[in-house]
Amino acid sequence: MKRLLLACLLQFTLSVVLSVALITPARAQDATAPPPDATTLLKVSAAPVTLHAASSAGATLKLVLAPGWHVYANPPSGEYNIPVKASLTSAMGVSAGAPRYPVGKDVKLPSDDKATRVYDGAFEITLPLQALASATNGTHTLKGKVSFQSCNDQVCLPPASVAYTVDVTVEGGAAPGALAANDTASHASADSAASPRAPADSAASTGQGFMTAPPAVGAGAGSQAKDDAIGQLEGALRSAGLGAIVGVFHGTFGFVLLLFLGGIALNLTPCVFPMLGITVSIFGARRKEALPKVIANALAYVLGISVMYTLLGVVAALTGGLFGSALQNPLVSIGLGVLFIVLSLSMFGVYEMQAPGWMLDRLGGANTASIAGVFLSGLAVGVVAAPCIGPIVLAVLAIIAQRANVGFGMTTMFTMSIGLGFPYLFLAVFSNLLQSLPRSGEWMDWVKKVFGVILASWGLNYILVGLLPHFAHWVLPTTLVLGGLYLGFMEKSANRVAAFRLFKRIGGTLAVVAGVLMSLSLVRASHVELAFRPYSDSALKASLASGHGVMLDFSAEWCAACHELEQATFPDPAVRAAAANIDAYRVDLTHFDSPEADSWRQKYAIKGLPTIVFLRPDGTEAPGTRVTGFMPPAEFVKVIEKAK
């Protein structure tokens, strides 16, 4: 019996570990890690082409970007965006015309109020090929290159290029060696006849909030919208000095833990909690059945929950993937926000989500005396408990659909289902604790309304990301203040129970205090920052001559991670105190390909933005202190101390 119990617990542990292994961390890039090279970021290939002399054909370039990276579309939507360009060398009477670029995805970067047109994932460029009447017969290998600038949420790399080749077979032309001298190879950029660059206010529609956090492999375009909403939350926490919370729940383990705890919390709703004891009794715990049989029934029940929820996650991810770039539209973000708010109304009793009576009768009549019957009951638990957990599950499924990643959908729903089913396993093993469970009562309605507040704030966050992204970071402190006042002092559930009333008052007070402190921190962060001076060689020489250390912040207007540093790290009091005796200069690389910016990039070996370089008074760079990408305040203080 003990061996069986240990085996069951081991199986449960392995399932949680498996869910950890399936999730890709949202932002795993180390701020000090070197950026990948161009050939790793962008793969370019072209299928062979056959054309007759004095005719034309098209060569299709297939480009695949590494997950988590994007490049600027052609034509670009911003003055400073460096678009993708394809070029091809003419040879043997075959030349390339103006490339035909795909339509980019209009997305909204956190650092810009206007839409930015980008490509991500896989896309194609068509190159028209023209063969002269005197083109040489045979197969010729034409060489070309694709130039681009790539970005993710940590860095924007300098412009780079990737070479490729196209095998072109000419038929019906001149014999080899007969080509006239004036038709021999000459290099011409395929963009020479391209349409002019689009102005910043071109027809690009406002895009969905966009954080270029690396999604898991296979993630669709919709993952970016989700990451922007999460990024707004993380930015608010960091700006309020609560980066430790982000650190706990930011990585893989934290994400799984949060989902698991959320699944457990769903058991406290009025549609689920009263059924705990009844369900465990069905397993045989109160009939004094043998412990192995009780555990087997509990495992079958939890397996049913997990199978149903995991399948729902897969379906949501596959369905979301069908919509592609439509998920980038700000109307989708606003629509999701409205959906979450409508779902939250169910948690406040405005309406009730209820399965049809005939379905409940069928499910209620399942034969729970067998393992199969218990498994079927587990499959149906989401339907039976729909009035309470349905809105939460639908909200999570909406996010999975937006991310359009099957792995993410499976892992999210599986982990949440394990949390939902964990109490059944625990109480099946320790059935004597059934008598210790608190009695059902009005307190469960309060728990249901807590979920309602969470859903409503979630919806408001998505709406602001679509409409006013710069205000989205105020959702969390506002929710804490208003939610704390409502749930702690205005909501009347179970007020007749003195202990629970005190619990509500304490919880509401703590939430209000936390919200006020976070608001004050956000206000301070918006007005206080390191005093950066504009960079110039003469000013730098003067600082070094005076014996001061120097910090160079290489930044740009189009760099999202640069603005994250400005909002969350530089205003931090500990950072400002540590840098008090260091002269700080900001090197503006917005015009990245200008001669002046190029000289600065060459001089300081800048590979991407943001990059921060620390110089000692003798003008040499402090070893081991260069920062590339976002770095939270606590870590940045350590770098400053090391640079002194």
Q: Yes or no: say if 335 and 447 are a contact pair by the CB < 8 Å rule.
A: no
Section 610-633 average pLDDT: 90
Percent of the chain having pLDDT more than 70?
A: 67
Beta bridge partners of 262: none
Instruction: State the average pLDDT for the chain.
Output: 74
Which band of pLDDT confidence, cut at 50, 70 and 90, is reported for residue 193? very low
Residue 204, exposed/middle/buried by CB under 10 A (0-12, 13-18, 19+)? Answer: buried
Q: Is the pTM of this model over 0.85?
A: no
- 247 pLDDT higher than 80: no
Question: What residues does 378 pair with on adjacent strands?
Answer: none
Region 91-97: mean pLDDT is 88
Closest by CA position to 615, among listed 590, 578, 583, 570: 583
The domains located in the chain, with CATH, are: 2-24+215-521 (no CATH), 38-180+198-209 (2.60.40.1250), 532-643 (3.40.30.10)
pLDDT of res. 560: 63
Query: How does residue 431 score in pLDDT terms, banded at 50, 70 and 90?
Result: low
Instruction: Specify whether the CB–CB gap between 291 and 1 falls below 8 A.
Output: yes
Q: Taking residues 255-281, what's their average pLDDT? A: 75
Backbone φ, ψ for residue 127 (5° rounding): -110, 115
- What stretches of 437-547 adopt beta strand conformation (E)? 532-534
Per-residue pLDDT of 498-545, as tens digits, reads: 999 999 999 999 999 999 988 887 776 655 567 888 898 889 999 999
Q: Tokens 């093993």, residue?
A: 429
Please state, as a whole number, how many other Cβ atoms lie within 10 Å of the Cβ of residue 322. 11
Q: Are strands 70-72 and 150-151 parallel, antiparallel or unpaired?
A: antiparallel
In the predicted model, is pLDDT for residue 490 greater than 90?
Answer: yes
Tokens of 210: 């966009």
Residue 412: pLDDT band (50, 70, 90) is: confident
| Mean pLDDT across 427-435 | 69
pLDDT at 365: 45
- Average pLDDT on 124-143 reads 90
What's the CA gap between 358 and 355, in Å, rounded?
8
Greater confidence, 208 or 632? 632
Residue 319 clears pLDDT 60, i.e. is over it: yes
Amino acid at the residue 134? S
pLDDT number for residue 45: 93
With a cut of 50, say whether residue 483 has pLDDT above it: yes
Q: Which of 446, 469, 453, 443 is CA-nearest to residue 395?
A: 453
Is pLDDT at 35 greater than 90 in this prediction?
no
Q: How far is CA 201 from CA 77, 112, 196, 424, in A?
A: 7, 13, 14, 58
pLDDT at 101: 93
How many other CB atoms sit within 10 Å of the CB of residue 75? Answer: 18
DSSP label at residue 283: T
CB 577 within 8 A of CB 640: no
Dump pLDDT digits (tens) for 335-389. 878 888 888 888 888 877 655 555 545 544 444 557 777 787 777 765 555 556 7
Given a cut of 50, is residue 266 above it in pLDDT? yes
- Bridge partners, residue 174, by sequence: 136
**What is the Cα–Cα distance from 620 to 544, expressed in whole angstroms?**
10
Token reading at 446: 């309060």
Residue 607 has pLDDT above 60, yes or no: yes
Residue among 644, 634, 523 nearest 574 (CA): 634
